[in-house]
């Protein structure tokens, strides 16, 4: 059964109706609570705007961070809501609670075209509860904000892998529709997994192999080549018998990685590892650092205490060459500690090669999206920048995602 779409809802008419929209406003904040990457807010604007312009009274639900099921202003949705107002030009109000007196009063007084953002849904313990009845009770309170003839739109692809009240249970209470952002993310992910144009090259980085075990397992059977960088590369290098000095290492994953390498040798996707590494004396911007061969990281002047913090220039150039030869590229995870300029060049080179290639390119959300924007690249430089993060990876793993199941069963 296919999900009903936003177009289906708009065709039915939304003027004068209150529509509950689950958006993804989970933006990163600095210590001053300033947004460091507004990509998710920008991605949420089109659906909210479509509904507003069609005369709907829009109530937006979203989470930010990981509060513990009670109000915590450190995680207030307000900075994201204010950014939504600034970027969209819409009439956006912000409630001081999620389903309490202020949210109820403001939702009831909305006029056609107005938008209300309620507080962080994770301020409510029922949102993430393992108890079905607790989530269902909260979902009923969400639905009550819409009054009679309400509707629900899920436009938060980054949350569809969560069995939460605002993602899963609400779709059983209100007529539920798939937002355009969810639709577009699914189209891209299906293009990657069902019939990718080949060669299909996957670039994987980030700190830990354990974060990507299942996706590596599946991509070995789908992709043509996996380029491995970031902190996770050291577990691969160690699995090959190389000394990785003081670099990040997951000892408990060595056998798993050896099995991946064996599968690659036996005919699965080719696994390509860095041949050189930027090694630092300590984790700091002003630390002494040098470029070392990947098979002798501890052999230089820094010695056995050195930390590998980026792929080296030869590796970056080789990765760029492989990307340039591809027809489809999926990238998830930076190549090094891109926040520090001395260890950003590997990530910059990969990003530039994705921007330059004629291949269909997908940047897989989270740290990768933040990295390309922090390094000065525009979203338009890439075929698609996912808002999905964990949801994208779980889809690529082949998992059934609760939010998608809820929409299809509505």
248 is an annotated ligand-binding site residue:
no
Alpha-carbon distance values, 271 to 210, 228, 337, 381 (Å): 17, 7, 22, 26
| 65 in a known ligand binding site | yes
Specify whether 403 is catalytic. no
42, 78, 191, 208: which is the annotated catalytic residue? 208
Phi/psi for 99 (5° steps) reads -135, 20
116 is in an annotated binding site: no
| Three-state SS at 44 | helix
Peptide bond into 93 cis (omega under 30): no
Is 162 within any annotated ligand binding site? yes
Known binder of ligand: residue 64?
yes
Catalytic residue list contains 183: no
**Catalytic residue (choose from 179, 229, 231, 366):** 366
Residue 61's DSSP bridge partners are: 22
Q: Is 390 a catalytic residue?
A: yes
Phi–psi pair at 57, nearest 5 degrees: -100, 110
Alpha carbons 241 and 232: distance in angstroms, whole number: 15
Catalytic residue among 17, 40, 322, 348: 40
How many Cβ atoms are within 10 Å of 266's Cβ, its own excluded?
Answer: 7
The catalytically annotated residue of 69, 100, 383, 390 is: 390
Asked if residue 255 belongs to a known ligand binding site, the reply is no
Contact present, 176 and 408 (Cβ < 8 Å) = no
Q: Does 57 show up as a binding residue in the annotation?
A: no
Alpha-carbon gap, residue 184 to 162, rounded angstroms? 19
Q: What is the DSSP string of 152-198?
A: EEE--GGGTTS--TTTTGGGGTS-EEE-HHHHHHHHHHHHHHTS--S
Question: Where are the extended beta strands (E) located within 66-174?
Answer: 92-94, 115-117, 151-154
- Determine whether the annotation assigns residue 322 to a binding site: no
What long-range pairs does 338-342 form, CB within 8 A, spacing at least 24?
338/371, 338/374, 338/375, 339/374, 340/285, 340/309, 341/285, 342/278, 342/280, 342/285, 342/287, 342/289, 342/309, 342/310
78 is in an annotated binding site: no
24 is in an annotated binding site: yes
Q: Is 366 assigned a ligand-binding role in the annotation?
A: yes
The response to whether 348 counts as a known ligand-binding position is no
CA distance 232 to 333: 10
Q: Is 198 annotated as a binding residue?
A: no
**Would you give the DSSP letter of residue 209?**
S
CA gap 34, 45 in Å, rounded: 19
Respond yes or no: is residue 208 known to be catalytic: yes
Residue stretches of the annotated binding site for substrate = 24-26, 40, 63-66, 122, 162
Output the known binding site.
24-26, 40, 63-66, 122, 162, 212, 308, 339, 365-368
- Active centre residues (catalytic): 40, 208, 366, 390
Enumerate the known binding-site residues for ATP.
212, 308, 339, 365-368
């Amino acid at each position: 059964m296919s999900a009903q779409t936003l177009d289906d809802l708009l065709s039915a008419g939304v003027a004068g109706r209150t529509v509950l929209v689950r958006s993804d406003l989970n933006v990163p904040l600095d210590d001053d609570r300033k947004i460091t990457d507004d990509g998710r807010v920008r991605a949420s604007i089109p659906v909210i705007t479509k509904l507003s312009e069609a005369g709907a009274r829009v109530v937006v639900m979203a989470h930010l961070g990981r509060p513990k099921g009670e109000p915590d202003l450190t995680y207030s949705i307000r900075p994201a809501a204010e950014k939504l107002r600034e970027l969209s030009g819409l009439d956006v109000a912000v409630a001081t609670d999620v389903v309490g007196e202020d949210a109820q009063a403001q939702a009831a007084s909305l006029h056609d075209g107005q938008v209300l953002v309620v507080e962080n849904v994770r301020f409510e313990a029922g949102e993430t509860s393992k108890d079905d009845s607790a989530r269902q009770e909260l979902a009923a309170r969400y639905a009550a904000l819409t009054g009679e003839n309400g509707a629900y739109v899920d436009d938060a692809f980054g949350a569809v892998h969560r069995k939460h009240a605002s993602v899963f249970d609400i779709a059983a209470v209100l007529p539920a529709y798939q937002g355009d952002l969810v639709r577009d993310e699914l189209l891209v992910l299906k293009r990657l997994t069902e019939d990718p144009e080949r060669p299909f090259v996957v670039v994987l980085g980030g700190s830990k192999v354990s974060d990507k075990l299942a996706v590596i397992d599946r991509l070995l059977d789908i992709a043509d080549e996996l380029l491995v960088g970031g902190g996770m590369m050291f577990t691969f290098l160690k699995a090959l018998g190389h000394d990785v000095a003081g670099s990040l290492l997951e000892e408990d994953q060595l056998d798993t990685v050896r099995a991946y390498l064996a599968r690659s040798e036996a005919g699965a996707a080719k696994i390509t590892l860095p041949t050189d590494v930027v090694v630092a004396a300590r984790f700091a911007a002003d630390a002494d650092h040098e470029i070392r061969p990947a098979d002798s990281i501890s052999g230089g002047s820094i010695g056995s205490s050195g930390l590998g913090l980026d792929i080296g220039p030869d590796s970056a150039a080789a990765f760029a060459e492989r990307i340039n030869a591809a027809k489809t590229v999926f990238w998830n995870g930076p190549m090094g500690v891109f926040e520090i300029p001395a260890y950003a060049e590997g990530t910059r080179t990969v990003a530039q090669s994705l921007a330059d290639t004629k291949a269909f390119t997908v940047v897989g959300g989270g740290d990768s999206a933040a990295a390309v924007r922090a390094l000065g690249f525009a979203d338009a430089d890439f075929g698609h920048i996912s808002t999905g993060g964990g949801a994208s990876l779980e889809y690529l793993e082949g998992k059934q995602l609760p939010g998608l199941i809820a929409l299809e069963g509505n």
